[in-house]
Amino acid sequence: MKYAYLPWLILFLPLLSAAVITLFTLRNKTVSSLISIGAVAAGFVMTVLFVSANGLHPAVSETAVSWLSIGNLQVDFGLKLDALSIMMLFVVTGVGGLIHIYSYGYMHEDESMARFFACLSLFTFSMLGIVLANNFLMMFISWELVGVSSYLLIGFWFEKPSAGDAAKKAFITNRLGDFGFLFGILMVWGILGSLNFSVLQDKVAGNPAVLGCFATLAGLLVFCGAMGKSAQFPLHVWLPDAMEGPTPVSALIHAATMVAAGVYMLCRTLFLYNAEALQVISYIGGFTALLAALMAVQQNDIKRIIAYSTLSQLGYMVMAVGLFGPTPAMFHLTTHAFFKALLFLSAGSVIIGMHHEQDIWKMGGLWKKMPITSKTFLIGNLALCGVPPFAGFYSKDSILAQAWTQHNYLLFGIGVLVAALTTFYSFRLFYVVFLGKEKSEAASHAHESPLVMTAPLMILAVFAAIGGFINITNNYGSQDYGSKFVGEHEQLSIGQQLLEPLHSIGPMICGLVAVLVGWLIAKSLYSNVSSDPLPAKLGVLATWMKNKFYFDEIYEATVIRAHDLIAAISGWIDEWIVEGCGIGFIRGGTNLSGRMLRHLQTGNLQTYAFIFVFGVAVLLYFVLGK
């Protein structure tokens, strides 16, 4: 393997950048941002170099140094280099790099821009850690680091109470998932005696029944981690609130990379899951997709609509993994990173143009005022809806085709319904924001953003347009996902990839009809309106959608109440049993004897002299007197 040191550099450059910014250049905005952008851009260049030298399947797929050796626990600090991780390297450094550049423009007015870039670099390091990890422990550590940097970035404007609350909510919800993840890891280690992915894969492939009766449980516990990070039902509540962070953060962490980490982890550990676990995973994914799409229909905050669509698309990916389809899942993950980052960044550009207004019913008529942003937004929208030949069409179609070929018609139906809903709310957003009349003073004074923000938009727009047929599926399809998933994919040329959806014509037609229906409804309802006509038509259902099906309220009433109750009981036990009887007894005894003994210390010199002499006399009596 040539350039074996490059992956290490790619991994550690962002960490170095975060450290340098925090320690030395916190006062200087420009230098800090350039260091951070440089680190991730260098990472991208090195990824290209590494792939051009070694290809997607390097001869040596792991490079490791021994890190921990306790008893029979051997943990390496190692990097896994195969098609899966290298393609993710492209996504993280490429899309991440563009978002870094965009942030330079977006955050330019902010006083603490240096801190922002330090956190961004820390995040990039942690995300690369997840992608490159060759064992569960290293992945878990990076997993937690990603949680920390997400916490720091959501709460970046910590002077706003809502941002602080959202950061805490995201962190704690993720902790719940990570708790299960940790248990899953411990269970796998306890049964199989190793944490290394390749070793585990060999063991499971050699004897599929090696996990015994724990197979389903271990798989589902590890899936808990993905449930938290990828915001799957029932832990989906944190992602919409996370939009309190700056928009580039929403694009990088809560659309393109971090939330995709759960799906990536599922693909990385695919060998662990048996059929039952995969079935649960697929239904959770499908349910999340439907639920989030329904919620998105009645939101009025531009970023929240995109956040719910992210949830829904993540549901798609998880569903695809559950349907024995890691390749469609990773394909959709990659195209989603392109078009969702594009949508978020375009939304950010709109927000800046509107002077920090996020309510879509105060926008309108921006098509002419923001010529570049509106066009990139449209491309992102078309890709999200799955209009051919944009990227989303190919990846979404591959997921629908996967459900079709697995004969899971319920999930296929959900997928088609979600596709229709996606188109509906996307074009609702588009019609209300960019077309029609200006609905506020700010909208009539909106202006286009500077080039440093629009240039990344244009680059991402190109990828959102052509991402569907530039060899992405081939690369993911060449990955060895374990014995259950081998040998389904042949290499295709670009022309063949363009026409790939024609192989399963049924799903393609259903998907296209769904898109058409969604668009027609959105067009008839939302062209040239100044307020939302839907609540009058749907009645109670619209209120439910708008209030996110009252999940926050339900959690407030059940989980948080129960938690408060447990806390109160623990508090009582601590106060009366532990403190009162246990510690109180010892403390009281010490106190009492102290009070008694202190009377010996009179503070009178002559008393001491007398006691001293008396002592000497007693000693003399015993030594000499007998």
The amino acid sitting at 26 is: L
Q: How far is the CB of 606 from other proteins (least distance, A)?
A: 5
* Closest approach of other proteins to the CB of residue 600, in Å: 11
CB of 594 to other proteins, least distance (A): 11
In the complex, least distance from residue 237 CB atom to other proteins, rounded to whole angstroms: 59
Residues in 593-622 that interact with other proteins by CB under 8 A? 598, 601-606, 609-610, 613
Chain centroid to CA 266: how far? 13
Q: Is the Cβ of residue 71 or residue 603 nearer to other proteins in the bound state? A: 603
Nearer to other proteins by C-beta: 610 or 621? 610
In eight-state DSSP terms, residue 254 is I
Report CA-CA distances (Å) from 564 to 123, 277, 378, 569, 575: 32, 32, 46, 9, 16
Closest CA to 239 of 166, 130, 337: 166
24 or 608: CB nearest other proteins: 608
Question: What are all long-range contacts of 171-175, with beta carbons under 8 Å and residues at least 24 apart?
Answer: 171/147, 173/228, 173/235, 173/237, 173/238, 174/147, 174/150, 174/228, 174/229, 174/235, 174/238, 175/147, 175/228
Residues numbered 344-373 forming contacts with other proteins, rule: CB under 8 A: none
What does the block give as tokens for 378?
Answer: 């449209």
By CB under 8 A, the count of residues binding other proteins is 10
Phi-psi region of 421 (alpha: psi -120 to 50; beta: other; left: phi over 0): alpha
Nearer to other proteins, 209 or 623 (CB): 623
Token pair 């309510």 in the structure block, residue? 359
Nearer to other proteins, 207 or 606 (CB): 606
Nearest Cα residue to 321 out of 392, 403, 251, 253: 403
Asked if residue 146 lies in contact with residue 229, where contact means CB atoms within 8 angstroms, the answer is: yes
DSSP 357: -
Minimum CB–partner distance for residue 626 and other proteins (Å): 20
DSSP 219-253: HHHHHHHHHHHTT-TTSTTHHHHGGGS-HHHHHII
Residue 549 or 621 with smaller CB distance to other proteins: 621
Nearer to other proteins, 524 or 601 (CB): 601
Q: Which residues lie below 8 Å from residue 379, measured CB to CB, with a gap of 6+?
A: 339, 342, 390, 461, 464, 465
If you search the block for the tokens 């991780």, which residue do you land on? 85
Structure tokens at 9: 């550099």
Is the CB of 206 or the CB of 625 nearer to other proteins? Answer: 625
Q: How far is the CB of 609 from other proteins (least distance, A)?
A: 6
- Residue number, 410 or 611, with CB nearest to other proteins: 611
* Helix (H/G/I), strand (E/B), else coil: 62: strand
Q: Do the beta carbons of residue 27 and residue 81 sit within 8 Å?
A: no
Q: What is the DSSP string of 414-458?
A: HHHHHHHHHHHHHHHHHHHHHSS---SHHHHT--PPPHHHHHHHH
- Shortest distance, CB of residue 623 to other proteins, whole angstroms? 17
Nearer to other proteins, 557 or 616 (CB): 616
Smallest gap from Cβ 610 to other proteins, in A, equals 5
- Full DSSP string of 95-128: IHHHHHHHHHHHTTT-TTHHHHHHHHHHHHHHHH
> Residue 192 CB: number of other CB atoms within 10 A?
17
Strand partners, 64: 78
Residue closer to other proteins (CB basis): 207 or 604: 604
Cβ of residue 596: shortest distance to other proteins, in angstroms? Answer: 13
Nearer to other proteins, 409 or 612 (CB): 612
Closest approach of other proteins to the CB of residue 614, in Å: 10
Cα 313 to its chain centre, rounded Å, is 13
Q: Containing H/E element for 80?
A: strand 73-80
For position 577 contacting other proteins by CB under 8 A, the verdict is no
Query: Which helix or strand (DSSP H or E) is residue 504 part of?
Result: none
Residue 572 burial (CB count, 10 A): 10
Q: By the 8 A CB rule, do 469 and 192 touch?
A: no
Minimum distance of other proteins from residue 612's CB (angstroms)? 10
CB of 590 to other proteins, least distance (A): 17
Smallest gap, in angstroms, from Cβ of residue 587 to other proteins? 20
State the minimum distance, in angstroms, from the CB of residue 617 to other proteins: 10
3-state class (DSSP) for residue 500 = helix
Query: Which residues in 447-543 belong to E strands, given as ranges?
Result: none
Q: C-beta of 598: minimal distance to other proteins in Å?
A: 6
The vertex-570 CA angle with 567 and 576, nearest 5°, equals: 135
- Residue among 162 and 602 whose Cβ is closer to other proteins: 602
Helix and strand counts by DSSP (H, E) for the chain: 30, 2
- Joined tokens for residue 435: 């077309």
Judged by beta carbon, residue 549 or residue 614, the one nearer other proteins is 614
Which of residues 495 and 603 has its CB atom nearest to other proteins in the complex?
603
Min dist. Cβ of residue 616 to other proteins (A): 10
Closest CB to other proteins among 409 and 610? Answer: 610
Residues that bind other proteins (CB under 8 A): 598, 601-606, 609-610, 613
